[in-house]
Amino acid sequence: MPYLFTSESVSEGHPDKVADQISDALIDNFLAFDKNSKVACETLVTTGLTVLSGEVKSEAYLDVQRIARDVINSIGYTKGEYMFDGNSCGVISAIHEQSPDINQGVDRSNPEEQGAGDQGMMFGYATNETENYMPLALDLSHKLLIELAALRRENKDITYLRPDAKSQVTIEYSDDNVPQRIVAIVISTQHDDFADDETMLARIKKDMIEILIPRVRQQLKPELQKLFTDQITYHINPTGKFVIGGPHGDTGLTGRKIIVDTYGGKGAHGGGAFSGKDPSKVDRSAAYATRHIAKNMVAAGIADEMLVQVSYAIGVVEPLGIFVNTYGTARVDMTDGEIARKIEQIFDMRPYAIETRLKLRNPIYLETAAYGHMGKESRTVTKTFNSPEGKQVSKEVELFTWEKLDFVDKVKSAFGLS
């Protein structure tokens, strides 16, 4: 019997995502000036106030207030009427030194013997239902908000948009797990005040359906464009007026959108957030590594869909175990347990090996903090950072290395596939 599946996304202006982006901007700046920095930082944003907290072990000295303000302004919170803007909000720092009790389990004289920065389990997932091996409902939810932000910045076709927004997509699947149609799309977008609420709602709904949806649809392959039928139920700003939003409407905290950050409810999640953590924290690095494994395995034709779990004990070098679930879609004559043993032979999952393989001790994290950490295209960019002492550092870095299909040939060889 056909079934429905739903995923949501939130915009870069959502208060929790504002917090994530500030935390990851701090990570990037620490790593830019000291690649060995150990950082776990949390951000809180609310009406007129940003609070930075956490633990840091680094040789770098940063102007954390300036970094936070730059991020807030770049998102689009630049007006006093938003009751939260980068130029005027208070910024309080309560960042302090990392506990030596934790650090002693991570730092070792031999870098390869680096222990995991925490205990826990991490999951990676991939499916071949989209070109980027992401679940379709989440991929569309992200695309809607990325395009909505582009329209906001263009300020041409739609001129009333503010930074905060959410989306949600419900898809009908057939019994054999093939997407059949989009059942419903929800978009809630913050907007400027209108003189007439009824006119406002009608205009926003018209613009979302007639401007935003076609711009997203034309980015898709023909088989996915067909999912956009005239039978879609649209819920556009279903509560009505949405003028008060962002950190003024809701307090934002780092790490509260972990399902948006990963797979939209598909697969599984170990519970640990990503943003604000340097790569010694396996919550982040091992989640990237398991995504890298799952994506390369599916791309190599081992299965149509795959979930990979890895687990660690704090301070221990070797992972405790690797688990695989192919949901009955394996294309090789092996059990999921046998596939997991093969993965252990192909991918070194020690923390230092993950950092090295995926080039994680680089300032690459701000770009991950909105519209998902997974499913984006790996690319090389040059980023520039400035210290309070006037020192400027430019670094060429590779973003989203865990999205590269650089292990497909190794996987095929290991499994005896041509």
Which residues participate in the annotated binding site?
14, 16, 42, 55, 98, 164-166, 241-242, 250, 256-257, 273, 277, 281
Would you list which residues are annotated within the binding site for L-methionine?
55, 98, 250, 281
Which residue type sits at 85?
A: D
3-class DSSP assignment, residue 173: strand
Q: Both tokens of residue 362?
A: 């680089």
Comparing CA positions, the residue from 217, 203, 120 lying closest to residue 157 is 203
Would you list which residues are annotated within the binding site for ATP?
14, 164-166, 241-242, 250, 256-257, 273, 277
Check: CB of residue 22 under 8 Å from CB of residue 255. no
- What Cα–Cα distance (Å) separates residue 376 from each residue in 223, 291, 357, 395, 404? 21, 12, 18, 20, 10
Would you list which residues are annotated within the binding site for Mg(2+)?
16
Q: Which alpha helices (DSSP H) does 124-168 contain, by range? A: 136-154
> Which residue shows structure tokens 């991939």?
126
Would you list which residues are annotated within the binding site for K(+)?
42
The number of beta carbons lying within 10 Å of the beta carbon of residue 323 is 17
Q: Who's near 288: CB < 8 A, 6+ residues apart?
A: 124, 354, 358, 360, 373, 401, 402
Check: CB of residue 144 under 8 Å from CB of residue 264. no
Residue 9 C-beta-side C-alpha neighbours within 13 Å: 28
Q: Which alpha helices (DSSP H) does 208-328 contain, by range? A: 213-217, 222-225, 246-249, 258-261, 282-299
Q: Both tokens of residue 262?
A: 């990963």
